[in-house]
Amino acid sequence: MFAIVIAQLGTYFTKQGSTMNRSITPTFQIPAASFQVFTGLTILASVLLYERALVPLARALTGHPSGITILQRIGTGLVLSMLTMAVAACVEGRRVRIARENGLLDDPKSVVPMAVWWLIPQYMLCGLSDVFTIVGLQELFYEQMPVGMRSIGAAAYITVTGVGSFLSSGLISIVQGISSRCGHEWLGDNINRGNVEYFYWVLAAMSAVNFCGYVCVAKRFVYKRIGHDQGGHSSEKVSY
């Protein structure tokens, strides 16, 4: 489910931006797709902040060597992905409302008088979600896999993103088919007449259900025994 949310970066997030005011000067507009740079910058900044500030603080509070457990890190990312879709839905609702107030619902090629900068929070939240979830998955597949299977584990988390893209396409087709049969397309060609915000809320709800399922599984997960530098071993039986 996390990967389905991330897949929206290159699809409907970009489509949202393409209809908004992207002008910096009278002669220059920011390409809508370039806003993904804010996700990348957020990832770079967050990794540094996480290691320098969050881990020491969490370590002092929890006593855990890593500050928080691997599963807690992944869970935090899943919550952030849910928040990403909620914020995106609110921004899209505002964009459609402004389009309606300016009589632009039937003119999808016109620029909606709403600054494209409104999209930055959802791009940044996507980056934060990525930092917690993807890095957490890397740690999980590396540390908790048998030594001989670590190369497979390294590839496994990458597979998550690819599968998410396919599932996103399938989910879009399902939502479009159901909404069409109900008489109003949510994801039609005219984004102003559609209800992309409803689709975002569906993703947020599905992310919430996914998180609940994740917590149920995480509570039953037992960490494998990891050797320490002193040569001893400890069993980390840590609940989520």
Q: What is the pLDDT of residue 236?
A: 43
φ, ψ of residue 148 in degrees (nearest 5): -70, -10
95 vs 4, which has greater pLDDT?
Answer: 95
The tens digit of pLDDT for each residue in 168-197 reads 888 888 888 888 888 777 887 888 888 899
DSSP at 231? S
The tens digit of pLDDT for each residue in 3-36 reads 888 888 878 888 888 899 988 887 888 888 888 9
1 vs 40, which has greater pLDDT?
Answer: 40
Q: Please state the separation of Cα 96 from the chain's center in Å.
A: 22
Q: Is the pLDDT of residue 237 over 50?
A: no
Please, are residues 102 and 71 in contact by the beta-carbon 8 Å criterion?
no
Q: What is the pLDDT of residue 227?
A: 53
Alpha helices by DSSP H, 19-69: 37-49, 55-62
Q: What is the pLDDT of residue 144?
A: 74
Q: Is the pLDDT of residue 138 over 90?
A: no
DSSP at 55? H
Strands 20-21 and 112-115: parallel
Q: What is the pLDDT of residue 240?
A: 46
Q: Of the given ranges (115-119, 128-132, 138-142, 206-210), which has the lowest mean pLDDT?
A: 138-142
Max mean pLDDT range (49-58, 63-72, 196-205): 196-205
Residue 80: both structure tokens together? 């952030």
Q: What pTM was computed for the model? A: 0.83
Q: Where are the beta strands (DSSP E) in the chain?
A: 20-21, 23-25, 28-29, 112-115, 226-227, 233-234
For the segment 99-118, the average pLDDT, to the nearest whole number, is 89
Residue 126: both structure tokens together? 């996507």
CA distance 79 to 100: 32
Amino acid identity, position 237? K
CATH numbers and ranges of domains, the chain: 2-222 (1.20.1250.20)
φ, ψ of residue 113 in degrees (nearest 5): -70, 65
Q: Is the pLDDT of residue 109 over 60?
A: yes
For the segment 40-56, the average pLDDT, to the nearest whole number, is 86
Confidence of residue 78 (pLDDT cuts 50, 70, 90): very high
Please, are residues 144 and 225 in contact by the beta-carbon 8 Å criterion?
no
Amino acid identity, position 115? A
